[in-house]
Amino acid sequence: MSRLLSAGFMRLWKSRVFWTLVAGMFLWSLLMVYGNHMECVAKGETDDTLTNFFFDYGVIIGGAVSIFTSLFFGTDYSDGTIRNKIIIGHSRKSIYMSNFIISVAAGAVMTAAWILAMLAVGLPVCGWNGFDAVQVLVYLAVSFFMITAFAAVFTAFGMLLSNRSVVVIVSFLVFLFFLWCGAYIYSRLREPEMRYRGPTYTITTEDGVEKITDASYIENPTYVRGTQREIYTRVIEFMPTGQALFLMENEVTDVSFMIAGSLIITVAVTLGGIICFCRKDLL
């Protein structure tokens, strides 16, 4: 498999698709820094810190990996490269695993491009507040295993679907679907338990303290409670797109469960992908 990896990485470094996505992540990161800073300046706010959006790449990298794997591995089918690899003696398992490793590496480099822009430009402009070194390392670990899960899923699509145009559409639509599912569950979990009912009034006491009076609360009927809340939480922590949302909001809590979820998805999808690829007709 070392020969496959060597050839694959040589091809990766020459890939226009790969470098376009790397540049896109870098530029998007710069736009995030600039947009957030200008918004804070316009509003006269002082909460302009890099930690507010440092891990926003979580909701972007999945789409970038889906596009990369679809185009990069789709070329193997259109050019007949996969058949040639098998003819010269490489096993299908080695071909699949080498492509998976390349996909993980590509996702990691794209993420590094985002982080590089944040540190090189965002840190001097916005500063850093709220995260210590240990927390950053923990978040980066969750990110890495999340990227690995994305790579496993989209490598499977790229290796099992022969038509490059089809795999691009299917992979990206699958990513958007699960991102929507994660956003829906996350929004349900963010619903407040109580809601204000009726008008509220602000009064100023003699000592100048403002208080809200005549405010009443009612239970929020859309608030998720009990077992359902626990299930929703576990589902979104298990999904890579759900983990991306937690990273974006700086709300990663159960680190072990998230990493375990990513590992389960990675192993299960990779094993299933290898089995299906070994049975696939490549003629």
Q: What is the DSSP letter of 217?
A: E
Residue 202: both structure tokens together: 């602000």
At 268, the pLDDT band (50, 70, 90 cuts) reads very high
Gap between the Cα atoms of 244 and 181, Å rounded: 12
Gap between the Cα atoms of 189 and 113, Å rounded: 32
Gap between the Cα atoms of 146 and 183, Å rounded: 16
Gap between the Cα atoms of 266 and 283, Å rounded: 28
Residue 270: both structure tokens together: 């990779």
Give me the residues paired with residue 213 across strands.
201
> Which of 251, 221, 220 minimizes the C-alpha distance to 236?
251
CA 238 to chain centre: 13
| CA angle (216, 222, 189) in 5-degree steps | 110
**pLDDT digit string, tens, across residues 134-147:** 888 999 999 999 99
Residue 200 CB coordination number (10 Å)? 11
* Least confident piece of the model among 18-22, 23-27, 87-91, 253-257: 87-91
What integer pLDDT is reported at residue 90 of this predicted model?
82
At 73, the pLDDT band (50, 70, 90 cuts) reads confident
* Least confident piece of the model among 146-160, 161-175, 186-200: 186-200
Residue 24 near residue 64 (C-beta atoms within 8 A):
yes
Q: List Cβ<8 Å contacts ≥24 apart for 224-228.
A: 224/188, 224/189, 224/191
What integer pLDDT is reported at residue 106 of this predicted model?
96
Give me the residues paired with residue 216 across strands.
197
Residue 109 near residue 57 (C-beta atoms within 8 A):
no
Domain boundaries, the chain: 2-190+227-279
Residue 243 near residue 235 (C-beta atoms within 8 A):
no
Give me the residues paired with residue 146 across strands.
none
Q: Which residues of 93-105 are buried (b: 16+ CB within 10 A; e: fewer)?
A: ebbbbbbbbbbbb
Residue whose tokens read 């790969």: 18
What integer pLDDT is reported at residue 144 of this predicted model?
95
Mean pLDDT of the chain: 84
At 50, the pLDDT band (50, 70, 90 cuts) reads confident
